[in-house]
Each structure stands twice: as C-alpha cells, then as structure tokens.
Amino acid sequence: MSLTPQESKYLEKKIGRKPNPLELQIVAAEWSEHCSYKSSKKHLKILPKEGKRVISGPGYDSGVLDVGDGYVVTVHIESHNHPSAVEPYGGAATGVGGVIRDILSAGTRPIALLDGLRFGNIQKDKHAQWLFKNAVRGIADYGNCLGIPTIGGEIEFDKCFTNYALVDVASIGFGKKENLIQNRAEKGDYVVLIGGSTGRDGIGGSQFASDKLEAENRSAVQIPDPFIEKLVIEVILEARNQKCIKAMKDLGGGGLSCAISETADALGVGIELDLSLVHKREQNMSPSELMVSESQERMLVITDLKKLGTLKKICEKFRVPYSVIGRVKKDTLMEVKLDKNTVAKLPSQVVANAPLLDRPFSKPKYMNGIEKIKKPKTPKDLSLTLLKMLSNPNIASKQWVYTQYDHEVGIRTVVKPGSDGSVLRLDNGKFLAAKIDGNSKHCYINPRDGVIGCFDEACRNVVCTGAKPIGMVDHLQFGNPEDPEIFWTFKESVQAITDYAKYFEIPCVGGKVSLYNETDEGPIKPTPLIGVLGLIEKKPLISQKIEDGDLIIALGTTKDELGGSEYYEYIHDLVGGKCPVVDMRSSKKTQDGVLDVISKGLVKVVHDCSKGGLAVAVSKLCITNDIGCKVSLDKVPSEKLLHDELLFSESHSRFLLVVKPKDETKTMSILKQKGITHARIGVFSGKDILFQEKSSSVVRVRVDKAQEKWLNSLGGLVTHG
C-alpha cells in the first residue's frame, strides 16, 4: 500500500511538504488504479457522453437519462472480480450492494439488476463450479432480500478465467427528475455517515483490486448485510422526499478517504471530519483503518442545520445507525481529526486527482497469424454436433441461475430473463429494455471487432423487444495495464466503442475500468462488457406462442466468421480464425427495419442470432415453443459456406423473425423496400428440428431431446457436482 517514487515526488511538490503516514495512506487509497483510473482516464475522454436525454451533474456516480414526463432512469455498472475470486459469496453480494448505492446516490430508487458472470471450465474444474455456485447464491441472497429484481445478464465460461472470477453487476434506477440530488454544499453544512458501522473488513480493498491476485487476501473482502442495505435505501429515499439531502455519495472503494476527497473536490468545498465520531463495530481502530475501511452499506450525506433533525428522525425510525462526523468548510481542504487533534490535512483537489499516466502500448504478438488457421473437418454427424452445442454451458439455458433470483419483485418485469433483452414498465406508461453483453473469445481474437460485436449484440437484444437504444455503459476488464500489449487491447477497445457509439448516436452514460485481472496462468482475455438501455414509447414486443405453419425469416448475411466461435472452441478445441466483423451501416439499417416491422405488429417473435449461430438460434425457438421446424440451408443469405459454417457461424447483425403466413408478404416487402438482406428460410411444424439442403437432411434432432440437453445441462453440472 504505497505510492510510486514519482507519485511521492508529485505529492510532496503539490502539498509543499512530506505527507505524514496517515496522509500517505489516504492518498494511496485514492490514487490506486481502482479509484483514480490513472491508467485509463486519458483514453476514456474520447467516449461520446452527450445526448439529448443525458442529464449530467457534479459528482454523479451513475448515468442519468431523461425518459420524459418528468421521469429519469439512472444506470451504473461495476465489478467485484478480485473479492469474488477469493470469497465468491461475499464478493458477489457486496458487488451488488455497491452498484445499488451508486444508483441511490443520484436520488433514484434501484429497480433492476443485471449481472455478467465469468468462470473457468465449469465442466471439468471443481473450483470453477464452487465459485459459480457461490457467486450466484451471493447475488441471489443480496438482491432478493433488497427486493430489487435481477432481470437479466449473461454467463461465460473460458479456461482463461481458471481460479478467477469476473462478477459484473449493472443496476438501473428510476425516479422523478425533480428529486435528483443537486449536489451542492455550503459552509457550515453537516456531514453525516449513515448505515452500517465501520469495521476492519475490506481494509485496502481498492489497492487489493489494483494489483495481481497473489495471495488469498480475505480480510480485503467486505462482509455483506443486505438487511441494513435495504433499510439504508428506505432511509435515503425518505430523506430525499423530505428534502434533507443537499449532496450525497456512497462509500465504496477507498472508503472514507475516497468519499470525502471526491465529494469535497466535486463540490469545490472543504470538509472537516472527526474520526472519533464515526460509529464503529470494532474497538481501537486506528485513523488509517477508519479512513480506508471498505465496510459496506454506508452513505455519506450532506445536510444543513434546518434539516439535520429530520434526517436523524428518519434514521431513528428505521433504526439505522448514523453519526454526524463533520462540517463543510469554506476552504478546499479535507481535514481529518481525532478528537481535537488534526491527524491529516490535505487539499482535496490533490487527493481526488491522481497524476495520470501515459502507459506504453504495442499490438500483442499473439495476434499475428491468429486469424490464419487450418479449417477443422466438418463432423460426420451434424445432428450430434447440434445436441452437443446445446449442452455447451455457454449456450445451455441459464434457468438454474435466474430462477434463484427474484426477477418479478417490483412488478415491473414485462419481458423476463431468458429472453433476448429484458423489459421493465415505467410509471409514465413507457417501457425500458436492458441487456448486457460480453464475449471474451471474440475480443481475444480481435479486441476491436470483438467489442463492437458485443455492442451490436446488446443493441440487437434490446431491439428484439421493440426498443430504441438510448444509452450505454461499458465495463472494461483487462489484465495488467503495465504490460504494453494488454494496454493496447484496452486502448483499441475504447476506440472501437467510441466509433460504434458515435455512429449509432448512443451516448456513453457510465462505465468502469477493472485492470490487473490476472490468474496464475496469465492475464484474462480482454473482456469488455457493454450494457445498453432502450426505450419503448408504446408497447413492447412480447413473444407470442409459435404455432404450426408460422414462418421463419432470416435477416443479415451469414459469413465465414468462426474465429472465437463456440463451435470452434467447444467442438474442435480450436482458438483462432477470423472473428465476426460488424458492418455498421448495414447493421443500423437492419435494426431500424426490425423496429419498423415490430411497430407495425407484423411479427410474433424476434430473436437475435449470436452464440452458436443460426442452428442454435433456431433450436432455441423450437425448444421454448415446443415445436419442430424445417429450415432450408440453401435459402439462408450467406457467403459460400460449408454446412457446419452455415449452421454455427456467429456473424453479427442477424435476426430471426417469426411471422404468421398471412403477414409474410407485407413483412417481406417492407424489408425489401428498406434494402435489408433477408429471406424466408423455413417453417415451424412437427416434432423435429430439421435443417436441409435442397431436400436432403443435414441435421435432424427431436425437439424433446434438444429440450433435455439445453434445459438441464448447466443445472446438472452444479446440482450433482
């Protein structure tokens, strides 16, 4: 826990003296990679943050989007990777808690959670199974207790996460625009710490997260208490309603050090606090322990004399502990006292703004030639291959996971988990769609094309519900940034996200960077995650039951893009090849066309084509609707491809539309008019999933057999394992 020699020199120059040991601790916590973004900040500046719905304010921990009629939606994403890799239950649970408090900080009620989980080979690795089971349980126990529905997410297993875990949580909030916290403070205002007591858990957590995971540092993991978090939510929202909150910040990484310095800096004021007043759960805690403890379920609130009494009463009603720990001052210093003695005094602007770094970068050598591979031999029995693909944990149903999450509480969940995107109803009669997507396998082959693919996929999933994307968040997860090759993959990803966001005019309203994700075997694959929110003005597309005779229309072109595909990796154990590339112009046209046919009420179901390709996408429709199909591979719009490539290529910007026969002509003529590549490829009927070329069968699988594989494979691994 220390500064680099350059940072020490910089600090001494800025404050004109040597810092005392406590001051050094405070600065080290705040200048950690986790809190300061010192490696990434310069590069993140290029992301487009403006948009007609974007509301920005000082010190907001979450993105705020105007959804009309006086309402706003807030969104934020975070990860809790290091803690979850050591203690998956507590790590994942406190990850949920942390992101929720960011939503709360804006003055909005958290109304939904989404989570992205990544572990090692779940089929072979017992440790990965243990991590997976306990991370899911941690999220469930925390989110369920709070009454915030977990409405969706995604899960990926890959050898690169062996002995490690990526646990990403996104949260969405909702509220009235007039209730947004204004974040202002004046001299004499009171600084109140509300919520859980401060203990020795999570000491140095932000530094722990800013280094390679070398030792099992359990004391750096925070202890979850969802019950107190639930009470804190109700206290804060009642205090908001009674106008008791002038400014607010949650306590997360870096604890009080971070919250105090960042608040003072953002508001342009000074803060004086007395550590002897902090309510604690342990005796004899030193000032430095108090300043860097990351004990959970705590909020920092600034209020004035007039409202302090009301705020205290609200806390007492809910029996939530609080302590008035300090006052706002006219200068811009953070002054820490212990009883009467000043123990640290630093300019908050200096503490809150670490010197930024210019990390060197260079294209990774492994990328040379990764696209050039010898194509694997097409398996003789593609029916068996399809069944194997459906039981692949990366593709199989995630029902075992999401049925453990209360996804209905709040009674907003219109389109539920297990669908492409999830949809919530809002109080103004509109609907909000949300999805997060990542794909480490594609991003490894080519970070730029990979992350654009994730962005496109998240947009497509939201579009499937009839929603127009209105904002995005990103979560950039990479290995050690001091390695120029890793830093290059980070830089490429940020540029790629920027390009897509600008082209589609989707503002980036929030994000997070998580570096130093390293395992014993080396860095994780680049794993940027993209979350997209979409708005539906009138009504969402709720999938209708598919019936005998309904038709399948495929949009977009299937190409020779199997690099990083589930088919290459799961069936052939082959890493390499060319990964899918998004043609932004044609993707935009296709998305707009899909929204158009949805709004005209012409389609029964719209389904995205992604992991596992066309064969898996069609099979999922058959499985969930308990009906067979007959698909002609020769009709599928594609480059000249072999059967296996046609079935399992993961080319982007493809959708499947299900229409009634009577709506076929109208739908096709709209698609044609808009210049969207499309074709009627088949019909639903019978009890077999059938892919044929001309009239000879290529794949024939019974629906009930496919159901059994797809529904039970993932749950089977962890319930009997």
Active-site residues, by number, are: 34, 80
Distance CA 717, CA 489 (A): 33
What are the structure tokens assigned to 49, written together? 């943050």
Inter-CA distances, 671 with 552, 556, 585, 638, 664, Å: 14, 11, 15, 17, 11
Check if the beta carbon of residue 667 is closer than 8 Å to that of residue 659: yes
Check if the beta carbon of residue 399 is closer than 8 Å to that of residue 418: yes
Stretch in the footprint of another protein (CB under 8 A) among 145-153, 386-394, 548-556, 640-648: 145-153
**3-state secondary structure at position 677:** coil
Among 226, 466, 471, 564, binds another protein (CB under 8 A): 226
Nearer to another protein, 231 or 264 (CB): 231
Nearer to another protein, 414 or 603 (CB): 414
Distance of closest approach, residue 369 Cβ to another protein, in angstroms: 46
Q: Mark 49-61 as b/e (b = at least 16 C-beta within 10 Å).
A: bebebbbeeebbb
- Could you tell me the strand order of the sheet in which 247-250 lies? 247-250, 298-303, 190-195, 322-329, 270-274, 333-338, 341-347
Nearer to another protein, 311 or 423 (CB): 423
Stretch in the footprint of another protein (CB under 8 A) among 184-192, 223-231, 245-253, 476-484: 223-231
Among 21, 227, 341, 384, binds another protein (CB under 8 A): 227
Distance of closest approach, residue 502 Cβ to another protein, in angstroms: 35
Site track for another protein across 175-214, x = CB under 8 A: ----------------------------------------
- 132 touches another protein (CB under 8 A): no
Stretch in the footprint of another protein (CB under 8 A) among 2-10, 219-227, 613-621, 646-654: 219-227
Among 44, 167, 231, 351, binds another protein (CB under 8 A): 231
Stretch in the footprint of another protein (CB under 8 A) among 33-41, 143-151, 202-210, 635-643: 143-151
CA 511 to chain centre: 9
Distance of closest approach, residue 232 Cβ to another protein, in angstroms: 11
Distance of closest approach, residue 145 Cβ to another protein, in angstroms: 4
Where do runs of H (alpha helix) occur along 37-87? 41-44, 81-86
Distance CA 35, CA 14 (A): 20
Nearer to another protein, 140 or 508 (CB): 140
What are the structure tokens assigned to 277, written together? 């007043």
Stretch in the footprint of another protein (CB under 8 A) among 39-47, 141-149, 169-177, 307-315: 141-149
Total of chain residues touching another protein, rule CB under 8 A: 29
Q: What is the CA radius of gyration of the chain?
A: 26
Nearer to another protein, 46 or 145 (CB): 145
Nearer to another protein, 362 or 403 (CB): 403
Check if the beta carbon of residue 717 is closer than 8 Å to that of residue 393: yes
Distance CA 60, CA 646 (A): 47
**3-state secondary structure at position 376:** coil
Distance CA 677, CA 556 (A): 5
- 624 touches another protein (CB under 8 A): no
Among 230, 337, 448, 491, binds another protein (CB under 8 A): 230
- 146 touches another protein (CB under 8 A): yes
Stretch in the footprint of another protein (CB under 8 A) among 137-145, 151-159, 328-336, 380-388: 137-145
Distance of closest approach, residue 435 Cβ to another protein, in angstroms: 19
| Nearest residue to 36 via CA among 165, 207, 270 | 207
In the 3-class helix/strand/coil scheme, how is 320-342 assigned residue by residue? CCEEEEEEEECCCEEEEEECCEE
Nearer to another protein, 161 or 405 (CB): 405
Check if the beta carbon of residue 553 is closer than 8 Å to that of residue 667: yes
- 140 touches another protein (CB under 8 A): yes
Q: Which segments of 353-467 are extended strands (E)?
A: 413-415, 422-425, 431-438
- Could you tell me the strand order of the sheet in which 508-514 lies? 413-415, 422-425, 431-438, 529-536, 468-477, 508-514
Among 145, 308, 324, 373, binds another protein (CB under 8 A): 145
Interface of this chain with another protein, residues 315 to 354, rule: CB under 8 A: 317-319
Distance of closest approach, residue 176 Cβ to another protein, in angstroms: 15
Among 66, 141, 304, 708, binds another protein (CB under 8 A): 141
Check if the beta carbon of residue 246 is closer than 8 Å to that of residue 303: yes
Spatial CB neighbours of 167, under 8 Å, sequence gap ≥ 6: 79, 80, 81, 84, 88, 91, 92, 95, 115, 116, 117, 118, 135, 139
Distance of closest approach, residue 407 Cβ to another protein, in angstroms: 6
| Residue 47: DSSP 8-state | S
Burial of 308 (0-12, 13-18, 19+ CB in 10 A): middle
Distance of closest approach, residue 149 Cβ to another protein, in angstroms: 9
Distance of closest approach, residue 227 Cβ to another protein, in angstroms: 3
Nearer to another protein, 190 or 400 (CB): 400
Inter-CA distances, 155 with 553, 634, 711, Å: 28, 33, 15
Nearer to another protein, 433 or 698 (CB): 433
Site track for another protein across 288-317, x = CB under 8 A: -----------------------------x
- 712 touches another protein (CB under 8 A): no
**3-state secondary structure at position 699:** strand
Distance of closest approach, residue 98 Cβ to another protein, in angstroms: 18
Spatial CB neighbours of 184, under 8 Å, sequence gap ≥ 6: 246, 247, 267
Site track for another protein across 389-428, x = CB under 8 A: -------------xxxxxxxxxxxxx-x--------x---
Nearer to another protein, 413 or 638 (CB): 413
Nearer to another protein, 142 or 567 (CB): 142
Distance of closest approach, residue 711 Cβ to another protein, in angstroms: 13
Inter-CA distances, 415 with 85, 136, 625, Å: 32, 21, 16
Among 121, 123, 144, 599, binds another protein (CB under 8 A): 144
**3-state secondary structure at position 184:** coil
Nearer to another protein, 406 or 688 (CB): 406
Stretch in the footprint of another protein (CB under 8 A) among 196-204, 224-232, 255-263, 701-709: 224-232
The residues that touch another protein, with contacts defined as CB under 8 A, are: 140-141, 144-147, 225-227, 230-231, 317-319, 402-414, 416, 425
